[in-house]
Structure 1
């Protein structure tokens, strides 16, 4: 279980910071044959399509740009947090199910990690601002953390 939990936690932590991270990295893994999606509903099987993977990667890049805009709502606002938790739940569900573990447990773990990551990122960004760090630098560090989590997930899946 530790491998599945680590994979789900990496994706969910990234999703707490950028809501489209888990779908983008799940799709990348599936399109490269690193995540098995057979027998899933058609919508989930489409995650393995390289075109879908490219679209979701573009969505993640767009979210990374949009995150720096002043009118974007806080990630801990109810709608934003719910989206992040759903994305984290999807990651946990798929990773746990593939490992033959309880999908519901994976979904709960993913949702919880995404919520915790969203709150931690929000508080860290506020703390950094209070210390005089430019918001753009902190936001770029968050982007780097998201990409590092995704890369770690993909590396773990490679071998």
Structure 2
């Protein structure tokens, strides 16, 4: 049962990465630092280090700002899509490492990133269409969902 829960959480953190590529590793690092994700004596232990948390948080905040810019490329172009696959898989792997399920959780994180990328792009497009082409409210909504959802996933790991 634990393995299934770990894979579901890895999938969900992948969905977060599909929405905001750098939010997923940042919230996983925060989860590790706060003790929600047990990375002690594992390959992922460095994720709990304050420098790692700080750097990833700065990157995630930068992404939240740049996503609001009109010249930001679509998340579905290859570099953006690949970045989401990598960060989703990596974030899933960190969650999986807490339970010695690194490889399967990596796969779940990648699958979640695909789902999050495609579904997020579609939902944001529909939201913008409903708002007369104004993309900003959808972007802010997606920011809140990605950060809040990521924090929730990281916290839920502590309950498994």
Asked if Structure 1 and Structure 2 have the same fold, meaning a TM-score greater than 0.5 normalized by the shorter chain, the answer is yes
1:3-22 matches, cutoff 5 A: 3-22=5-24
How much has 1:34 moved relative to structure 2? 2.1
How much has 1:151 moved relative to structure 2? 2.1
8 Å CA contact retained: 1:10, 1:152: no
What corresponds to 1:29 in structure 2?
31
TM-score when normalising by structure 1: 0.88
What corresponds to 1:64 in structure 2?
64
8 Å CA contact retained: 2:22, 2:56: yes
8 Å CA contact retained: 1:125, 1:138: yes
How far, CA to CA, are the matches of 1:126 and 1:46 in structure 2? 37
Q: Which runs of 5+ in 1 are unaligned?
A: none
How much has 1:5 moved relative to structure 2? 2.0
How much has 1:116 moved relative to structure 2? 1.2
Q: Deviations over 1:20-48 (max 9, x none)?
A: 012101111111222233241xxx43211
How much has 1:71 moved relative to structure 2? 1.3
Q: Deviations over 1:71-111 (max 9, x none)?
A: 1111011111111001111122222232233x322111111
8 Å CA contact retained: 2:8, 2:108: no
How far, CA to CA, are the matches of 2:112 and 2:52 in structure 1? 25
Identify the range of structure 1 (46-55 vs 105-114) with the bigger mean alpha-carbon deviation: 46-55
1:97-112 matches, cutoff 5 A: 97-101=97-101, 103-112=102-111
Q: Which runs of 5+ in 2 are unaligned?
A: none
8 Å CA contact retained: 1:11, 1:25: no
Change in 2 beyond 3 A, CA 1:105/1:39:
closer
Residue-pair matches, total: 155
